[in-house]
Every structure is written in C-alpha cells, then in structure tokens.
Amino acid sequence: MKKSKAKAKEYMSLHKDQEKKYAEPLLPQLEYAFPQLDLQPQAAPAPNAVSGGIEAAGSPEDEPSENGFFGQVIETAAQPFCSAYPDGRLKAHNQAFLNLIGYTADELNAKRWSDLIPAEWSERDAALLNELRRMDRPVFCETEYIRKDGTRVPVEAFIHRVFAGDGRDFYYCWFVRDITERKRVEHELQNANQDLSNYVGELEQRNRETELFSEMVSLLQACVTVDEVQSVIGRLVRELFSTDSGSIYLFNAERTTYEPVAFWGPNKAVEQGIAARECWSLRLGKMYLVDSNLPGVLCTHVKPPLQTASLCIPLMAQGETLGLLHLVFSQDWLALPRDARERQKRHKQQLAIAVAENIALSLANFKLRDTLYIQSIHDYLTGLYNRRYMAELLEKELHRMARKKLPAGIIIIDIDRFKSFNDRFGHEAGDVVLREFSLFLRKNIREEDFACRYGGDEFVIILPETSLENARQRAEQLRTGVKHLNLRFREHVLDTVTLSLGVAVYPNHGMSAESLLRTADAALYRAKAEGRDRVISI
C-alpha cells in the first residue's frame, strides 16, 4: 500500500502538465474507492529528485493510457468500475464490475449502459447525467443494476465526467459499491421499526379496549330495563369492534327466534331474526369460526361469499342461550401479514368471548332480577298482583287520576261459600276454583285495569278513569259472567260460582286508597249480608 501511494505521488509530480487534466478528475473516484490513499496532487519535485519513475506512462505528448498506472490500479481494484461514452457504448470496466453483474468481458462489451439499468431507474439516471454535464461536478446516487441472470443488485454509484485529449470529447466513469448487505440490514431495521410501531399501535388499541370493556361491564350492572341493556351493548360493543361488521341478537321467547338489537358495518344483520338452526354456534352451544383461508361450513345467516372471517359466539349463562354475537372481520384484517393476521384473529376471539360472557351474565342477572321482582309483586297461586303491590298500584293510580281530574273505581270481590269447596273436596279443589276464577278475571277486564288478590277468596279490581255507574256495570258483568264457568276437580263437577261485590269510586267515596278500600269493603259485607250474589255500592 505504501509503495502504491508513493508511485501515485511520483506519477503526479513527473507528469504534472499533461497528466493533471486527466488524473485530477479521477481523484474523487479513487478516494471514494481507496479512502486509505492520499492521492491529492503534490508540488513538482526538484530536478533529479525522483529516480526510477514510471517512465512507461509515456511522454507528455501522449494521452494517458488506460493501461498505465491508473489503469492498473483500477483494473486490480476490488471496487467495481465502469466507463461509457455519452451515447451509451461501454468504454472500459474492471474485473470487479464483471463479478458484480455476472457477465464476461466479451458479453459486457456487446451491451449498452441502458441494458444494465432497470426501466424504472432509466429516467432518473438520465437526469443525473444531465446534472453532471450542467454542473460539471461528480454526482452520487443509489440505484440498481441488472445482472446477467436477471436479478438486481443494489449499488451506490459515484459518477464523474472525464475529458479526452482534445478537451471536447468525454466519457462517464462509475465507481460502484455493492450495498446488498446494507440494504438487507436497512430492510430488517425497517421491518423491526414497523413491528415496533405495530406493537405500540396494538398496545394503544388494547388499552382503549380495556377502558371500553370496563365501561360496558359497569353500565350493564347498573341497567334496570332490557331497553337499557340493549342500548349499552349496542353502543359499546360497536366501539369495541368498530373496524369490523357485527350484530347482536337476543332471544325472543314469543317468536322463538333471535332478534337483532344492534348491528354495524357493511354486513348488516338479518332483519327478520334468525332461528337456532341457522347458526352453528347456537346449535353447538359454543364459538364457531369460519376463515376464508380455511375450509368450513358457513352459517346460513351469513351472506356468501365470505371474503374474510365470520365469528359467531352464543350468549350463554346458566345453561341457557340468551342471544348471539356475530362478527365479520374487515378487509384491513385480510391485508395483514399472515403472522399479524393470526395474532389479531386470536385476540378478536378472546375479546369477543369475554364480551359475550359479560353480556350473557348481565342478561341472566337482569332476567333473574326481573323474575324475582315479578314474583315479589304477584300471587304465586293465581298469578294476579298481590295485596302489597295492589296498595302501591292504587296509590299511583289515584295520584294520576288527581292530576288528570278523572274518577277511578275499585271493586272488592268475594267468592260466595268458598269454604264449601274446601270442605267437600279438599284444599286442592279450592285452589282450582281460585286459579280458574283468576283466569276469568284476566280475560274479562280491560287492558288498563288491574286484577289483584286481596287475600283468601277476596279480590280487588282497580278501574282507572271509571265512573260509579260504569264501575257498577263492570261489577255486574263479572257477577253474571262467572256463572258460566264449568269447574271440574278430578271426576267431580263443582258447584256454580257466585260472587258478592262491593263498589267504591274516587273521589265520590274518598280521596285516599285507604278510604276507598274501606268503603268498598263495607259495600261487600252489605252484599253478603243481603243474601250474596249481588253488587252493592254505598
């Protein structure tokens, strides 16, 4: 290396006038290729200062030969080098360049420079050469060359223009460095950075999902009506799976179908509801997933063709299926790399299962709470409102009638000689009479009326917006209608049921529930005292 450096300096000194105009333009490329050499021009040495110089380089009148000293340096260099005329014909190249692109010297000599450049890079390279001619200074770029086998090699190139002996003609020189390894590392770093960015994004999404999930659980626990439950799950589940399409169905006991209560995204729910037989998850009682990349039987409620994935999860609690959560993954999920797609699919499954479990648990708790409440206000034998709730209802209706300045009637009913049913056939027969009579009452009152069991064989009917005359008419209809009941207990035909009824009306007979009940009760006892099977109002 020291010997090469000394020869380069000696060469520059001995041929200053002639060689300078040819050698100096090459110095930037040589320094780029051989940064360890100091090839800056030196001052001419004193006469006879150099002995044994490179005389073979030629006289000052000769144009420097490519086979001279610099030619030998370039030819033997490990740095790829190539030169070409402005029209694209190749002028010279070294073995390192041949090794880089895989051609032999003869094969490469038959090529033009444009044959080595990918089409998408040609316009950019032409612009670089124009800039080089205009600015008359070297240019640096990253590009790709096409190898003999058709593959591409990424390189960085240092390009210079070198003039011939007449100073008019010139050619381009490329000093090239293979950056395949650097590009590989850059690509790995980019991938790692993208993975990190994706991870941060996923982490932020998980935090957001955790917040929404906690909010959903808290709100579901505070709901007191089914409408509130539907509103909560409709809003928050939509936000949890905002990038996907989804639907939530709840079981409708009257229609024995699952009715949609919330849906979002382009894949809309089946508006008329679905039957259990139309969904594999409802039939199997567990999660059911169909991925477009994997074979699977599609649920009939999912519209084909399935382009992404369909996920169905039954809303189950205490062995009862209360509804269905259905998701169709977005197209963004399909565009993810395979590993990311599988990771997100697993996460969506876990999140959907947790959401479904909490919705089902909340629905079950609400259903239990509703059942307990219904039981607490109804008589277990007859199914009518019980005495405690009757008092609450009567107070509410009287306040409502007071605001509207309308009357309200009540009827207290007693089944005549009810004790005889128990005495002759036992208490089971008495229960039959009470149940059948309660059914008769429900069928023969208005929708806005309230039938209640007052205790034993006594009943109360609350009649909102009813005058005294109308209340008496309703009582009389009940008295005559009950006689048409045909009651049987086992093989026995029971006696015809008759009623004694006492009627009172707000505000005629009192302004409070207590006073109305007291007046109606007095009328009832008067009806019983006068021979039963009659209607009395005081």
Mean pLDDT calculated for residue range 30-36: 49
59: alpha, beta or left? (left if phi > 0; alpha if psi -120 to 50): beta
Q: What mean pLDDT do residues 380-408 have?
A: 96
Percent of the chain surpassing pLDDT 90: 47
With 60 as the cut, is the pLDDT of residue 50 above it? Answer: no
CA atoms within 13 A on the CB side of 53: 17
Class of domain 2-182: alpha beta
User: In the predicted model, is pLDDT for residue 97 greater than 70?
Assistant: yes
Cα atoms found within 13 Å of the Cα of residue 356, Cβ hemisphere only: 29
Interval 404-432 mean pLDDT? 93
pLDDT of residue 8 exceeding 80, the answer is no
**Using one digit for the tens of pLDDT, what is the confidence trace for 269-301?**
566 789 999 999 999 999 999 988 777 889 988
Mean pLDDT of 433-457: 96
- In this prediction, residue 459 has a pLDDT band, given cuts at 50, 70 and 90, of very high
Does residue 13 have a pLDDT over 80?
Answer: no
Report which of residues 284 and 24 the model is more confident about: 284
- Average pLDDT in the chain: 84
Q: What is the pLDDT of residue 150?
A: 93
CA distances to 121, 234, 284, 313, 359 from 316, in Å? 61, 18, 12, 9, 9
Between 11 and 159, the more confident residue is 159
Mean pLDDT computed over 418-427: 89
38: pLDDT strictly greater than 60: no
Confidence of residue 470 (pLDDT cuts 50, 70, 90): very high
* pLDDT of 7: 46
Give the residue, 7 or 299, on which the prediction is more confident. 299
> Domain ranges in the chain?
2-182, 187-375, 387-537
Give the pLDDT confidence score for residue 200 in this predicted structure: 83
Cβ atoms 161, 21 nearer than 8 A: no
- On the question of a common fold for 2-182 and 187-375, the answer reads yes
Over residues 324-383, the pLDDT tens digits come to 999 999 888 888 888 888 888 999 999 999 999 989 988 888 788 888 889 999 999 999
Residue 299: the pLDDT is 92
Residue 49 — very low, low, confident or very high, per pLDDT cuts 50/70/90? very low
Supply the pLDDT for residue 63.
Answer: 43
Q: What is the pLDDT of residue 1?
A: 47
Quick: pLDDT tens for 99-150: 999 999 999 999 999 899 998 888 888 888 888 888 888 888 899 999 999 9
Angle at CA 308, nearest 5°, toward 303 and 312?
65
Closest CA to 441 of 409, 419, 412, 467: 412
For the chain, percent of residues with pLDDT exceeding 70: 85
* Confidence (pLDDT) at 179: 93
Per-residue confidence (pLDDT) for residue 271, from 0 to 100 = 66
Give dist(CA 199, CA 196) in Å, integer: 5
Question: Which residues, in sequence order, are CB contacts of 15 under 8 Å at separation 6+?
Answer: 23, 57, 60, 64
Calpha distance 376→387 (Å, rounded): 11
* Topology (CATH) of 187-375: Beta-Lactamase (3.30.450)
CATH number assigned to the domain covering 387-537: 3.30.70.270
The answer to whether the CB of 324 falls within 8 A of the CB of 281 is yes
The token duo for 6 is 């000394």
Q: Which of 62-71, 185-194, 210-219, 459-468 has the highest mean pLDDT?
A: 459-468
Average pLDDT of span 180-188: 93
At residue 40 the predicted structure's pLDDT band, cuts being 50, 70 and 90, is: very low
Mean pLDDT of 172-187: 92
Between these two residues, 263 and 29, which has the higher pLDDT value? 263
Q: Nearest 5 degrees, angle CA 371-CA 373-CA 377?
A: 115
Question: Quick one: which of 503, 380, 517, 500 has its CA closest to 438?
Answer: 380
Q: Is the pLDDT of residue 12 over 50?
A: no
Q: Is pLDDT at 460 greater than 80 in this prediction?
A: yes
Counting every residue written for the chain, the total comes to 538
pLDDT digits (tens, 9 = 90+) for 186-207: 999 998 898 888 788 778 888 8
Higher pLDDT, 484 or 204: 484
For the cut 60, the answer to whether the pLDDT of residue 55 exceeds it is no
The whole-number pLDDT of residue 169 equals: 79
Give the per-residue pLDDT at 170.
85
* Residue 257 contacts residue 274 (beta carbons within 8 Å): yes
